[in-house]
Amino acid sequence: MKHLSLLTTLTTVPLLLAACGQAQDESSTTLTTPENESSYVLIGGKSTFLKKTTDDSSKLDHGSEKCEIPAGAKVLLQSDPSIEGAHFLVNTKEMLPGCGFSKGYVFREHVSKSSAKILFTVNVSAFLDTIAYAEGTGDRYDYMYTHKVFYSYSGHPRQIQCSYGLCSDAAGRYQFLSTTWDAMRRKLGLTDFSPTSQDRAAVQLIKDVGCYNLVVNINGFETFSRAAYCVSGQWASFPGSPYGQPKRSSSHLYGKFSKFLERY
């Protein structure tokens, strides 16, 4: 994970943090170095928000949909944060001051340190982000074809959507067809269509089509291009795809891949 610069000492507030703009009671704080942090923490590198969705914070209401976290604050979590594209999904140990929810999203670029476990190599993680960008889903794991939203991660939605003469039941961040998903689900023993399951299935699909080593060994435009063409039989938006959907060029996708690497 990418780390922003860290202060040598950080203020820890036992019941999470002080509300933005409130003075902290010095008797209830301790100073801790990054090496002595407890498990399951997320530290804001600059003022940010806990958000109920991944939507832009400017579109969300204070209290019910977003809650401010001051710069330098340490937020205790119930478990390690998970990575969902540009965000961490977190569940705070206790409610933030004035907040109506505990589970939500924090923009990763506003975090200086966390206990998140990266499941895949940096190249693989950035390549997954590139697939999602090319497929038009970005950080959304709940999109069907045509960007219609589904509301349960219990399983693949299996709903056919049509646009401009093309119909598909593709769904999720990596736009899995239900038939492809069923094969990955059986192979990996997946029990839901959650973001983590979708990530694992996408990586397995890359392996199954013989492209995994190409992705792991990307070290420039040429090696990226080989990996991109390799997966084009699975993702219609990649260069060389035999399908009739619009495609992205290798140079354009490589620029995005390079930017996504900075997340990790």
Residues catalogued as catalytic: 135
Q: Are strands 82-84 and 111-114 parallel, antiparallel or unpaired?
A: unpaired
Residue 25 φ/ψ, nearest 5 degrees: -75, 115
Q: CA–CA separation, 189 vs 194, rounded Å?
A: 13
CB within 8 A of 108, min separation 6: which ones? 1, 2, 83, 86, 87, 88, 263
Name 168's bridge partners: 161
CB within 8 A of 6, min separation 6: which ones? 34, 112, 113
Q: CA–CA separation, 242 vs 232, rounded Å?
A: 8
Q: Supply 116's token pair.
A: 């998140």
- Torsion angle, CA of 178/182/185/188, rounded to 10 degrees? -130
**Exposed/middle/buried for residue 136 (C-beta within 10 Å: 0-12, 13-18, 19+):** middle
Which amino acid does the sequence have at 91?
A: N
CB within 8 A of 137, min separation 6: which ones? 143, 172, 173, 174, 175
